[in-house]
């Protein structure tokens, strides 16, 4: 073999090894930095979807078994609402199928939101939770519409999709307030929310569509609980109760 050709092949082999080493190093960094990557993704993408600030204090995920915990999640309130946040959750447990992490459809086995604190603030015939839901709906439209509708027409929504086996909100507490309560509020327990097979029939939903499903479930459960607690609302102020019911039943 001519020397020049041999040197060229040697340089090519060395270059290939360098590229492989870089790729392996990047894969190892991604594997060992999964917590950082997920935390950064949540804090970058979630505010665009919800239209409010979103913060996560800590993320701990295992790429080996897919189990993880998110701590210190805070979802802010839309502009014009006085409460400092719409939701705060100390702990969220998740279980992901690790084999699907690199797939177009990620399978999330379960999400458990434990003892979240929810602020339900009434203002001008609407409320902060509905405002967030409208933000999500607007985002879904901008991103290309509803996955279920697209699936019926033989198309899929662009981007990564998710199938979630179970989403549970357990032990939630809601504090309802409005201007007529003069800064006060009424706190009551929210019955557990348990959603199953989210996105399964549609072949997966986008993160925004999943957020819309969860937010709609929370709004509906809060509405039901306010009606159930109507007597307590009347004790807290008749006009406040009337305003609350108008906001829910409009």
Which tens digits make up the pLDDT trace of 136-179? Answer: 999 999 987 555 445 444 455 557 899 999 999 999 999 988 76
**What's residue 64's pLDDT?**
81
28 vs 82, higher pLDDT: 82
Convert the pLDDT of each residue in 198-212 to its tens digit: 999 999 999 999 999
> Per-residue confidence at 180, pLDDT binned at 50, 70, 90?
low
224 is a domain residue: yes
165 is a domain residue: yes
Give the separation between CA 111 and CA 108, rounded to whole angstroms. 8
238 is a domain residue: yes
99 is a domain residue: yes
25 is a domain residue: no
DSSP letter at 200 equals T
Convert the pLDDT of each residue in 36-78 to its tens digit: 778 888 899 999 999 999 999 999 888 788 899 999 999 999 9
Does 19 have pLDDT greater than 70? Answer: no
**Residue 180, SS3 per DSSP:** helix
**What's residue 16's pLDDT?**
45
Least confident of 6-10, 83-87, 188-192, 197-201: 6-10
**Residue 96, SS3 per DSSP:** strand
Does 29 have pLDDT greater than 60? Answer: no
**What's residue 36's pLDDT?**
75
- The total of structural domains in the chain comes to 1
> What residues contact residue 176 under an 8 Å CB cut-off, 6+ apart?
120, 121, 122, 185, 186, 187, 188, 226, 233, 244
**What's residue 18's pLDDT?**
45
Structure tokens at 146: 């509803």
In percent, how much of the chain has pLDDT > 90?
48
**What's residue 153's pLDDT?**
44
**What's residue 123's pLDDT?**
85
**Closest Cα partner for 95 from 166, 32, 147, 201?**
166
**Closest Cα partner for 133 from 78, 203, 63, 205?**
78
225 is a domain residue: yes
67 is a domain residue: yes
3 is a domain residue: no
Q: For residue 167, what are the domain limits?
A: 33-249
């Amino acid at each position: 073999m001519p020397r020049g050709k041999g040197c060229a092949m040697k340089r090519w082999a060395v270059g290939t090894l360098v590229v492989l080493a870089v790729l392996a190093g990047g894969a190892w960094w991604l594997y060992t930095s999964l917590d950082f990557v997920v935390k950064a993704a949540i804090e970058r993408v979630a505010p665009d979807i919800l239209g409010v600030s979103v913060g996560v204090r800590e993320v701990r995920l295992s790429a080996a078994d897919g189990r993880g915990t998110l701590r210190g999640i805070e979802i802010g309130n839309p502009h014009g609402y006085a409460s400092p946040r719409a939701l705060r959750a100390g702990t969220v447990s998740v279980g992901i199928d690790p084999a699907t992490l690199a797939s177009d459809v990620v399978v999330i086995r379960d999400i458990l939101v434990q003892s979240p604190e929810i602020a339900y603030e009434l203002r001008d015939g609407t409320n902060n939770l509905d405002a967030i839901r409208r933000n999500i709906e607007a985002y879904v439209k901008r991103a290309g519409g509803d996955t279920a509708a697209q699936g019926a027409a033989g198309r899929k929504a662009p981007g990564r999709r998710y199938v979630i086996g179970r989403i549970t909100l357990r032990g939630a507490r809601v504090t309802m307030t409005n201007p007529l309560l003069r800064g006060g509020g009424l706190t009551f327990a929210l019955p557990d929310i348990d959603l199953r097979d989210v996105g399964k029939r549609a072949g997966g939903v986008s993160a925004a569509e999943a957020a819309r499903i969860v937010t709609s479930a929370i709004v509906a459960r809060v509405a039901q609980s306010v009606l159930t607690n109507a007597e307590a609302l009347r004790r807290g102020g008749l006009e406040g109760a009337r305003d609350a019911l108008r906001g829910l039943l409009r």
